[in-house]
Chains A and B, each alone.
With several copies, the nearest count.
Chain A
Amino acid sequence: MSDTKNFMFLNRRAPYGTIYAWESLEVVLIAAAFEQNVSLMFVDDGVYELTKGQDTTGIGMKNFSPTYRTLGDYEVRHMYVDKASLEARGLTADDLVQVEWEDWETEESVDNIVEVVDSDRVAELLEESDVVFSF
């Protein structure tokens, strides 16, 4: 397949209470392997997926949050966080993981591809995508 599409993954669920966040992440990794342009959007309780310091030893579940930090290596270029969702939850960008990105060919790099955006921009980004995945 030579087609390349702009894929947007809309994440609106907290981690652990349900599996949607984790299994959604599996699709992100596969989509990146298919060389699609992959972006992630975190809205509502989805912003909780990115909190630092998750420790699941007490509940016997696998901590899948380290995977988010590796997404830059899978050529995911954009991770957007809805500002209103973040603020309503009393969180700031400092509470979230940072995700580095580097283009191996051009050596262009970005310290953190996690970007907080306002509602209008969220709506725009969703509408500019070719496919929106919801889980």
Chain B
Amino acid sequence: MKFSIQVNEGPYQHQASDSAYQFTKAALEKGHECFRVFFYHDGVLNGTRLTTPPQDDRNIVKNWTDLAEEYDLDLVVCVAAAQRRGIVDDGEAERNGKDATNIAPRFRISGLGQLVEAAIQSDRLVVFGD
């Protein structure tokens, strides 16, 4: 079955991103397809490569990147939400005159249409939030 996942909260403050990761991993391990993981609201903060969590704790950003690597996942960060919260890739840096980027590997920034498309194309949309 084809799933899409929506993540509304950033890493660590709320469990939402952890739950979304565990669910997505379990779905993939059962042989389901994941059409897209869409990061909205503070969820976009999952897509920064600048985090350095404590050694004895999980690395949520890396978990997503590694899962995307293994299953060729499409990790999409909402552009409007990302602009409000300071998640930047090369294109955004150029457009908005920013002197640095912080997007994590395997994440890409795109529009809300990607969420709507995911809802249309997938058999199930599962939302994780606060």
Residues on A lying within 8 angstroms of B by beta carbon are: 1, 3, 5, 7, 16-20, 23, 26-27, 30-31, 33-34, 36, 59-62, 131, 133-135
Given contacts A23-B41, A131-B125, contact A31 B14 (CB under 8 A): no
Q: Which residues of B sit under 8 angstroms from A1, Cβ to Cβ?
A: 117, 120-121
Complex CA distance for A39 and B40, rounded to whole angstroms: 20
Q: Which of B41, B58, B113, B129 contacts A34 (CB 8 A)?
A: B113
Chain B residues bordering chain A, tally (CB within 8 A): 30
Contact yes or no, A17 B115, CB < 8 A:
no
How far does the alpha carbon of A134 sit from the alpha carbon of B12 in the complex, in Å?
A: 18
Please determine whether B58 and A62 come into contact, CB atoms closer than 8 angstroms: yes
Question: Nearest chain B CB to A43's CB is how many angstroms away?
Answer: 15
Q: Specify which of A17, A131, A135 is in contact with B15 (CB 8 Å cutoff).
A: A17
B binding-site residues for A, Cβ under 8 Å:
6, 8, 12-15, 18, 21-22, 40-41, 54, 56-58, 63, 80-81, 111-113, 115-117, 119-121, 125, 127, 129
On chain B, the residues within 8 Å of A17 by CB distance are 14-15
Q: Is the Cβ of B129 less than 8 Å from the Cβ of A135? A: yes
A-B contact pairs, 27 of them (CB 8 A): A1-B117, A1-B121, A3-B121, A5-B119, A5-B120, A7-B119, A18-B15, A19-B14, A20-B41, A23-B40, A30-B115, A30-B116, A31-B119, A34-B117, A34-B120, A59-B18, A59-B22, A60-B22, A60-B63, A61-B18, A61-B57, A62-B57, A131-B119, A133-B6, A134-B129, A135-B8, A135-B129
Interchain Cβ contacts within 8 Å, total number: 73
Task: Specify which chain B residues have a CB less than 8 angstroms from the CB of A36 in the assembled complex.
Answer: 116, 120
User: B21: nearest residue on chain A (CB-CB)?
Assistant: A60
Nearest A-chain residue to B112, judged by Cβ: A30
Please report the C-alpha to C-alpha distance between residue A5 and residue B119 in the assembled complex, in whole angstroms. Answer: 9
Q: A23-B81, A59-B22, A133-B6 are in contact. List 10 more A-B contacts (CB 8 A).
A: A1-B120, A3-B120, A3-B121, A20-B8, A26-B80, A27-B112, A36-B120, A61-B18, A61-B58, A135-B41
Known: A1-B121, A17-B15, A59-B22. A34 touches B116 (CB 8 A): yes
Alpha-carbon separation in the docked complex, A131 to B125 (Å):
7
